[in-house]
Amino acid sequence: MKVKGSEVGEWGFKKPNDGWHIVQMGEGIDFLKKDGAPLKNDKGNDLYKFPAKINDETADDHGADIGFVVAATPFGEKQIADILVAIGEAENFDKAFPGDRSYFENEIFSKVKIKVANKMLKMKTELSKDGKYANIVSTAPMSYQPKDAPAKASSPAAAAKSAPPATEGW
């Protein structure tokens, strides 16, 4: 077989702890799909899956999937705008796409997919009241020091991860 299993297979399904996390955005932002067909919310808005994982080797929830869904709504626009600020790309988007434009326009969303992939930021999560979901309630740049969390000593690897993102390719 092409792939071999492990005696103790770990698949990374963990719920994140409440609070701030160092997060790496994933590749493959796309429509949220079921059986290969794009899904819409109850108001008919397109839904997009943004892959993300906690990337902090000092955290007990390291590797936890905190991917999230963004609806093509005004709130979804705000979510994308906040992520772009957190990864240092907001000004580049403002320059490249001046005027009253939507992040959900094909040309712009294609660029969002490229620029967000593999970028680091901080996200604050809170467990839903029913305990089933981790909700992302805040985003921030890697340089942000939350008032409600002690600052961690920076390792050389953490410092490299928090370096400002490159903006080449505009």
What are the tens digits of pLDDT across the range 86-115? 999 999 999 999 999 999 999 999 999 999
- 159 vs 77, more confident: 77
At residue 3, the pLDDT reads: 77
At residue 90, the pLDDT reads: 97
At residue 163, the pLDDT reads: 46
Residue 9 lies in a domain: no
- Residue 145 makes CB contacts below 8 A (sequence gap 6+) with 151
Residue 6 lies in a domain: no
Residue 64 lies in a domain: yes
Residue 85 lies in a domain: yes
* pLDDT, average across residues 61-83: 95
Measured distance CA(131)–CA(122) in Å, rounded: 22
Q: Per-residue b/e over 111-148, b at no fewer than 16 CB within 10 Å? A: bbeebbeebbbbbbbeeeeeeeebebeebbebeeeeee
Residue 67 lies in a domain: yes
At residue 43, the pLDDT reads: 97
Query: Is residue 79 scored above 90 in pLDDT?
Result: yes
Tokens describing residue 14: 């963990």
Residue 10 lies in a domain: no
Question: Three-class SS of residue 94?
Answer: helix
The domain tally of the chain equals: 1
Dihedral sign (CA 70, 74, 78, 81) = positive
- 153 vs 123, more confident: 123
User: Which domain covers residue 144, as residue numbers?
Assistant: 19-161
Residue 12 lies in a domain: no
- pTM (2 decimals)? 0.80
Query: Is residue 161 scored above 50 in pLDDT?
Result: no
Q: What is the DSSP letter of 162?
A: T
At residue 14, the pLDDT reads: 75
Question: Three-class SS of residue 144?
Answer: coil
Residue 46 lies in a domain: yes
Query: Is residue 155 scored above 60 in pLDDT?
Result: no
Q: What is the DSSP letter of 118?
A: T
Query: Is residue 169 scored above 50 in pLDDT?
Result: yes
